[in-house]
Amino acid sequence: MAVKLTEKTAEQLYGIDGITLYTAQAGIKKPDQNDLTLIDIAAGSTVGAVFTTNRFCAAPVRVAKSHLFNEDGVRALIINTGNANAGTGEQGRQDALAVCAAAAGWAGCLPNQVLPFSTGVILEPLPADKIIAALPKMQPAFWDVAARAIMTTDTVPKAASREGKVGEKHTVRATGIAKGSGMIHPNMATMLAFIATDAKVSQPVLQLMTQEIADETFNTITVDGDTSTNDSFVIIATGKNSQSEIDNITDPRYAQLKELLCSLALELAQAIVRDGEGATKFITIEVQNAKTRDEARQAAYAVARSPLVKTAFFASDPNLGRLLAAIGYAGIADLDTGLVEMYLDDILVAEHGGRAASYTEAQGQAVMAKDEITVRIKLHRGQAAATVYTCDLSHGYVSINADYRS
Amino acid sequence: MAVKLTEKTAEQLYGIDGITLYTAQAGIKKPDQNDLTLIDIAAGSTVGAVFTTNRFCAAPVRVAKSHLFNEDGVRALIINTGNANAGTGEQGRQDALAVCAAAAGWAGCLPNQVLPFSTGVILEPLPADKIIAALPKMQPAFWDVAARAIMTTDTVPKAASREGKVGEKHTVRATGIAKGSGMIHPNMATMLAFIATDAKVSQPVLQLMTQEIADETFNTITVDGDTSTNDSFVIIATGKNSQSEIDNITDPRYAQLKELLCSLALELAQAIVRDGEGATKFITIEVQNAKTRDEARQAAYAVARSPLVKTAFFASDPNLGRLLAAIGYAGIADLDTGLVEMYLDDILVAEHGGRAASYTEAQGQAVMAKDEITVRIKLHRGQAAATVYTCDLSHGYVSINADYRS
């Protein structure tokens, strides 16, 4: 029951010159569904990537990090669902390397030019043999098919495209896919997201841009506050649109391209929240007039992570004291609660440390009945702001996570 | 459906010399139930108290803090349920002061000798008139009746007693009550807990002891990670057992009394978790061999707060990778995951960064089927340890909090 999220058709997505996609059924967890995806990348492309900060990061994350900066360039991404290859120790690393070697043989590149990605259950050995056996069976696929092949508990495939001017004469295209629904509280990037563009960008500049975009998009969402072991966000720049390379962040095209990719990444990040496990509402928490951006984000996350706030949204109940309580425990030691203003959409709910005189329960109920709601909190301490996206906490969340492995 | 928690009868609780309890029906939220409690304290008693660190702390918390150290001593506690008087601004403070004044008139003391406590819905004005009108109707009550009168979403009243030697010849008695079920993630003390003892302790020493006990008991529990606006924990020492005053922490009786009261407070704190909203399981998270106690507690809380971990416990599903993931994102930047060992009760689940070779799914299932489970995590970084208590996340939690105001 995703919140206002529909599957994109192939016609709504751009092909990206220099990228070929393949999918297959490896039978890792369930039969008769694609669970293996390979993204073949043309020579000369550059790749930027950011990964989870979870200390129990998965074996493929460790391997992908070590392969990312190899001097021959990245030529393929291999992605499986059904098993995260996390909490699998040294055997997990060997399995990830074996998958890279087999994918390299198939793609005609070196093993260290392959980045592996896995998502699914943690603490179970990766069935690398099934993946390797499935490689020869892969079929070419378009982005819509790949978006479906990387899903786990997702109910809607997540894909998006953008086209825009970068530089005076050139049109740049970008297409991305993402998966994620639970264990969503990114601290680098969330679960798996892959964006490809035909722009030409040097690797160090693309790496920086990837980090900046992750911080503004995937790092602003939370479903359940659980940071995954496998979060990975990758941007591929194939350079096929014949522009000169963007090799400097002061190049005006850097900002143009970043804006275009940021818009795409934000759509994918929000799609993950809209499809958050059990989600019935899409909630935007904006904190304004904070002293620092970190402080603003801290307050926004306190509200966004609170189970009491999330169940109130699920119930469509304007039990808004729960939001004030969350702001109060967000850890801003010298917060003057008398200055805090809180709005639900455009309705002023709280000010001067209490309920606004103008607020009525009927106003609150009207907003809470919607399936997209914005909470705006003004701290009146400075000029910084942050926005965080989340969903409600429903019976669906409990059911999905109590049943996930069965 | 509290986990192994039954109501104490009057016979299981000690009266404390110097304490008289009263309850009444003020009709604050629901008719026909006691929602007002007054604890009358004999002259010469000392009182220690700790309060929530939530910046949106309730009006009664602010007033209680300002009355606690008055030079004439605290003579009464007045406690209402049904309304938290939090997020109520200046009017909330006036209401709390009016209740203190009325209670002082009834108890024959000064208004600043009364500490007010409120619990219930946030962001709604306190019906102080109803409380004041109910004071003359109060009836003497015993601890079991008072334990029931301070309940909100609690399903079982929480009370306990202890008796023990403090000093060579003297027997000390202590009885306490607590309430709390949701919005439980104390950062001083949780919700409301009141302990009275007949020991004689100077105010500064009692205040320090109260802080130390809170840190070892109420500050180690979490139900939903939400720190309340109204958390308060009070210890009253009436001094009626005719010992000389404990006025120094080096007095050997300090440690004896602290141990006795700590044991009592821990039973009450655990009772809150056992009665956690929707709880079907009582979970103990022990983190050992950490570098510091803060680090150990940080890791324990990451596991205890994770919705994914909590739903796995609810499902009795040994989906134990979720616990490793939580340890991984607990924020210990230099954690060597290869050294981490995790046990479920006495079963070694994970070591060397992966699943233990000896572990079987059947072992995990056998432990997960229990209603009391201990998770032991050894970080192998140092000598510090911490224990945290929590419960699972069930459909009951969502139902209770989605329906709470209706």
- Report pLDDT for B25: 97
Binding site feature residues of A:
152, 179, 190, 277, 401, 406
- Report pLDDT for B147: 94
Q: How many CB atoms lie within 10 A of CB A298?
A: 17
Which residues, numbered 129 to 148 in chain A, qualify as contacts with chain B under a Cβ-Cβ cut-off of 8 Å? none
Q: Residue B187: pLDDT band by 50, 70, 90 thresholds?
A: very low
Catalytic residues of B: 190
Catalytic residues of A: 190
pLDDT at B337 over 60: yes
With tokens 């919140």, the residue in question is A3
- In this structure, is residue B69 part of a structural domain? yes
Instruction: Annotate B331-388 with DSSP letters as a single string.
Output: S-TT--GGG-EEEETTEEEEETTEE-TT--HHHHHHHHTSSEEEEEEE--S-SEEEEE
Q: Are residues A53 and A102 in the same domain?
A: yes
Which residues, numbered 85 to 124 in chain B, qualify as contacts with chain A under a Cβ-Cβ cut-off of 8 Å? 86-92, 121-124
- Report pLDDT for B189: 38
Q: Are residues A304 and A343 in the same domain?
A: yes
Burial letters for A198-227: b for 16+ Cβ neighbours within 10 Å, e otherwise? bbbbbbebbbbbbbbbbbebbbbbbbbbbb
Looking at B275, B300, B327, the residue that finishes a domain is B275
Contact B355 A406 (CB under 8 A): no
* Mean pLDDT confidence for B183-187: 58
Half-sphere exposure of A65 (CA within 13 A, CB side): 13
Q: What is the pLDDT of residues B249-264, one digit of tens each?
A: 888 889 999 989 988 8
Q: Are residues A269 and A287 in the same domain?
A: no
Contact A401 B307 (CB under 8 A): yes
* One-letter amino acid for residue A85 of the chain: N
- In this structure, is residue B115 part of a structural domain? yes
Positions of chain A with pLDDT lower than 50, given as ranges = 187-190, 406
- Report pLDDT for B321: 85
Q: Are residues B110 and B224 in the same domain?
A: yes
Residue of A nearest to B120 (CA): A321
- Report pLDDT for B405: 56
- In this structure, is residue A3 part of a structural domain? no
- In this structure, is residue B5 part of a structural domain? no
- In this structure, is residue B4 part of a structural domain? no
- In this structure, is residue A300 part of a structural domain? yes
Residue of A nearest to B185 (CA): A329
Q: Which of B225, B320, B328 sits opposite A307 (nearest CB)?
A: B225
Binding site feature residues of A for substrate:
152, 179, 190, 277, 401, 406
Q: Residue B9: pLDDT band by 50, 70, 90 thresholds?
A: very high
Q: Which of A229, A329, A398 sits opposite B398 (nearest CB)?
A: A398
pLDDT at B383 over 50: yes
Q: Are residues A287 and A266 in the same domain?
A: no
Q: Is A79 on the interface with B (CB under 8 A)?
A: no
- In this structure, is residue B246 part of a structural domain? yes
* Mean pLDDT confidence for B49-55: 82
Chain B residues with CB-CB distance to A190 below 8 A? none
Looking at B244, B275, B306, the residue that finishes a domain is B275
Q: Nearest-CA distance from A102 to chain B in Å?
A: 24
- Report pLDDT for B406: 40
Give the domain extent around A381: 282-403
More confident residue, B269 or A336: A336
Q: Are residues A38 and A169 in the same domain?
A: yes
Q: Which of A315, A332, A355 sits opposite B55 (nearest CB)?
A: A332
- In this structure, is residue B91 part of a structural domain? yes
**For an interface test with A, which of B398, B400, B404, B406 has the most A Cβ atoms less than 10 Å from its Cβ?**
B398
With tokens 């004689």, the residue in question is B200
Q: Is B335 on the interface with A (CB under 8 A)?
A: yes
Q: What is the pLDDT of residues B219-248, one digit of tens each?
A: 777 776 676 677 778 888 888 888 888 988
Q: Which of B225, B324, B338 sits opposite A122 (nearest CB)?
A: B324
Contact A56 B337 (CB under 8 A): yes
Q: Is B15 on the interface with A (CB under 8 A)?
A: no
Q: Are residues B210 and B346 in the same domain?
A: no
Q: Are residues A248 and A298 in the same domain?
A: no
- Report pLDDT for A168: 80
Looking at B248, B275, B302, the residue that finishes a domain is B275
Contact A402 B183 (CB under 8 A): no
Q: Are residues B251 and B320 in the same domain?
A: no
CATH code where residue B329 lies = 3.10.20.340
Q: Measured between alpha carbons, how far apart are the two ends of chain B, in Å? A: 20
- Report pLDDT for A184: 65
Residue of B nearest to A334 (CA): B55
Q: Are residues A219 and A348 in the same domain?
A: no
Which ipTM did the prediction report? 0.74
Structure tokens at A270: 């929000």
Q: Is B84 on the interface with A (CB under 8 A)?
A: yes
Contact B55 A327 (CB under 8 A): yes
Q: Nearest-CA distance from B334 to chain A in Å?
A: 8
> How many domains does one find in chain B?
2
CATH code where residue B196 lies = 3.60.70.12
Chain-centroid distance, C-alpha B57: 16
pLDDT at B115 over 50: yes
Q: Are residues B189 and B95 in the same domain?
A: yes
Binding site feature residues of B:
152, 179, 190, 277, 401, 406
Residue of A nearest to B352 (CA): A89
Q: Is B396 on the interface with A (CB under 8 A)?
A: no
- Report pLDDT for B404: 54
How many angstroms separate the CA atoms of B301 and B309, rounded?
11
- Report the sign of the C-alpha dihedral through residues B317, B320, B325, B328, in that order: positive
How many angstroms separate the CA atoms of A53 and A228, rounded?
9
pTM score? 0.80
Q: Which of B179, B362, B204 shows the shortest CA–CA distance to B271?
A: B179
Q: Are residues B126 and B44 in the same domain?
A: yes
Q: Which uninterrupted H or E stretch holds B299?
A: helix B293-305
Q: Which of B124, B224, B329 sits opposite A308 (nearest CB)?
A: B224
